[in-house]
Chain A
Amino acid sequence: MSTSLLQQVLGEAIGDDESLFDEPEVNFGLLDEYSKREIRRAILTAVAVPGYQVPFGSREMPVARGWGSGGLQVSLAIVGPDDVVKVIDQGDDEGVNAVNLRRLIVSSTGIPESTTPEDSTLIQTRHRIPEDPLDERHVLVLQVPVPEPLRGVERDMRELARMHAEADYARMWVSLYEDKVRNGVITRTTGYPCLVDGRYVIATTPIPRWDVPRLHQSRFLSLFGAGREKRIYAVPPHTDVEPLTFEDVPFEVEVTPGATCRTCGSSESFLVEVPASRVDGGGHWVCSDSDWCRRRRERRDHPSNGGDS
């Protein structure tokens, strides 16, 4: 089922001589069953207490800490033989780290992979929510570099624990207020702090503000895995997720007036800029969700193959 690194590297050179790669088979989903059970228990707690950062005994994974080790542990703890996995990084299925994580999940489980949310059940992502609508069939696993939303206002972990326990978010509000007063706008970029179910403030990984409204009263389960910081938290389906802002200061998502995707023409997706270069001339914009963009382009070029959805 799985192949060793040596086999992956030398496979072509050495051919099919399996005896050269006499390494022990790994368990389904790499982790041993005791570890998976422990992680699933943390996930259940996270779902039961939306937004609460559940400590767990994070394992060292075959990817470095900071490279999706938390998301990978969550995915491997919940993945089953009937799942179909999609992995994206910055919205792109072909990003090299997305490819590496997908390769690890697929090679250690034998489950099929897909790039289309429609065909997928388990979607692991770094910093985006797919543009397609997700529903009850989907579990979204988000890789979290910094799970603590209050670290910008408090460094002492003992005090941070107290603030969350007492829902004392006063200093967060003050920092947002000072931001607005000093800069005229709230300058928070990605990972915008949100109040979950009216109780815990979470860091929305660093997904862009564009994606934040998608978490509110969503039909899908979102699981946030922070491997290095050893925390798991969740936004269950049909749960309030409110970005922290003031009554008279609307929450703003990333929009650049007039920008459209150069390849599919979209102005209703999260766009990333391709800067001007001396070779290509002027800059332009493209969709960050590469698979959504591809399907949109195909529908445009071949309208008979499927209508607009």
Chain B
Amino acid sequence: MGYAAARGGLKAIEAAERLVARERILGESSWLESRQMIEKLRLAVDRVMGEGGLWDEDLAASALRQAEGDSIEAAHLLRSYRSTLPRLAYTTPIDVDDMDVLRRIVPAFRNPPGPQLLGRTTDYTGRLLQTADEDTLRTAAEKMAAFLDEQVTPEVEVGHVVSGAEPTDDERRPRRLLELLRDLDAVVDRRRTDDPEPFDITRHPARPPATRSARLATMARAETGALVNVWYRNILGPDGYLHEITLGEVRHGRLPVKVVHPITGDEISVTEVRVTEVEAIEDLDGIEEDRGRFDVGYGLCFGHNEKKAIAMANLDIACERDKGRSFLEQSILLTTDGLDASGFLEHLKLPHYVTFRSMMERKAAVRRHKETT
């Protein structure tokens, strides 16, 4: 082999890796356990699973630790790991009404069908930073834990009444607001049959014009901040695709995942995933639209991530109403992936001296031309 050149590049990379490792793996504090992250940094782990497109809390926690807490980097680790695995089976379609609801709110009605179930949220908790020293906080937490253990059943808020009772089946699997609106004939019917198989964004690039399933899959895996930004551009930015959204459902709960058994042919439940699901009711106001009815946008993503699911539901109905008139669909499909955007941004750190030399040469050529004419 003719390979004998100095390996300075490799030495530099290895030295950089050791610098990271010394602090991350070997630093002074104790080992950061996956279990700690899954329990105590739940939202960060959920976000990584959602943006990584892989449901596995242990792997996501491991990725988050390896990425020093950078959620996009952690999602990258999950996705590139998945690239090494063969895809052996597809699940059967999940009926979201099978959701075991952990939290459910319906802003559109004071007393909707089924409960208003606040669940685990800090929505109505004052954002007061805990400034006490760590020992005090730890002691307080232990007292709190002892107090909660004494209670036989967890507190559950149902219909704005705190009750100590276990929720009933109807409370766990409440009827949807949308069903009520459909009963009242208050929703346009745009069910269609031309998108029967969900578009698989991991096997085919989704490009406009795309099916709704392609848009939904793209948003389900999109970077949370990117989706929030596309939504907010509509509110204060230059876009303005959106109108008056009222949230019909915000749910967080567990869904069974089922596959067909390869030998028996029976449908079997293999695991559970937690998802956030949102239905956004849109007050149609377009000239060609049915002003006597509402329409609905849908959002669903892995884990507990309400920001993302709400933005997704809003953008789903916005895209539907836009009907390809603007760049909204292209923005959703092409610019909301965290790995794409941050990878390309960070690639600017790579050496670019060949392209820059070419630019310098053209600058000189333009100046030469101006001097001679």
Contact = CB atoms under 8 A, between A and B. Distances in A.
B124 interface: no
Contacts of A208: 354-355, 357-358
A32 B86 contact: yes
A137 interface: no
A252 B365 CA distance: 10
Interface in A157-213: 157-158, 161, 183-185, 187-190, 206-209
B347 A67 contact: yes
Interface in B334-367: 334, 339-340, 342-347, 350-355, 357-362, 364-366
A55 B207 contact: yes
A102 to B, nearest CB: 9
Contacts of B79: 60
A26 interface: yes
A127 B1 CA distance: 25
A46 interface: no
Contacts of B208: 157-158
Interface stretch (A110-118, A214-222, A235-243, A261-269): A110-118
B237 interface: no
Residue from A56, A64, A92, A184 with most neighbouring chain B CB atoms (10 Å): A64
Interface residues of B, number: 65
Interface in A1-47: 5-6, 8-10, 26-27, 30-35, 38
A30 B2 contact: no
A271 B342 CA distance: 31
B205 interface: yes
Given A60-B82, A64-B339, A94-B7, A55 B351 contact: no
A109 interface: no
Interface centre among B2, B10, B359 (most CB of A within 10 A): B2
B208 to A, nearest CB: 5
Contact of B76 (A6, A64, A91, A184): A64
Closest 6 pairs (CB-CB, A-B): A65-B343, A66-B347, A184-B369, A60-B79, A64-B343, A230-B205
Interface of B: 1-3, 5-10, 12-14, 17-18, 20-21, 25, 66, 76, 79-80, 82-87, 200, 202-205, 207-209, 324, 327, 330, 334, 339-340, 342-347, 350-355, 357-362, 364-366, 369-370, 373
